[in-house]
Structure 1
């Protein structure tokens, strides 16, 4: 059996957003990335997801607006505030992945959210396949009502995460992974 086709999956790793720089995907590569992103398991063919692109000045303005929102949060350390202020300065492209729950569907909401989560995962895999680095981040902004309003999300929508895409400025660090035998078991009756 040829295991080489699994190499890209075996070697996949997130590149910290602060280690991503220009260039990002050009128009053709971005289109390819978005086309593979939506090829996910989707019970009921609901397409319970959408993506919002943050690029250029709009991305920086979004980061500035998030920073302004943090000013009203007194429990945040100065270091955390600074990290959040700069988060959108590095990668040339940030994609907000949004779940859209069809409440009238018989498909459970969790399955719809998982489909949207798979969009984010496909963005990571697609970015790597195109020679870019990427990181999927959530943090406070993914769960904040003011951020949802800033992005124009509807009542049935939620942020799955922000996928930062760019060119790695240094080799991505590897992290310890779970041992397969520690996370896999066989069920027996």
Structure 2
């Protein structure tokens, strides 16, 4: 990140691998990446020793962001500022402690791919079915049990529930029957 900070206006893609520091006080740094379109971050396992880890809310001000991936960060709650990223088309938050997604996710009107995976997610927002551009949903390795067809946009191309599979198998088959044009895994 130090190298990218030297000329932040020219940075369109920022990839941070094995990141091991708390970002909560890095808001000013992130604010300078005004042309950032892709933000991919993967933490180092040592980051889980930080009890107060946070992403800076200033990331929500990066209006050109189209793709965000946060892998293996100690998040307990879904960052509310994500709903401010109106250009966002791809969001992956994987390997965390998130249990719910806020209803404000539906404000991401351009979102095509949403993957919230490898976490104790047990509930999806009622507003998810309002997301008209959403095409791909990934809920692998979650604790979802409610697979009611009315929760999902009916125009999805794909939903992935692979992994833990604690949902009722009959509910999965019913969802597949109600959404025949959608590839539903497993």
Shorter-chain TM-score: what band? Answer: under 0.3
Structure 2 length normalisation: TM-score? 0.23
Higher relative contact order (CA 8 A, sep 6+): 1
Structure 1 length normalisation: TM-score? 0.23
Q: Going by fraction, where is helix more abundant, 1 or 2?
A: 1
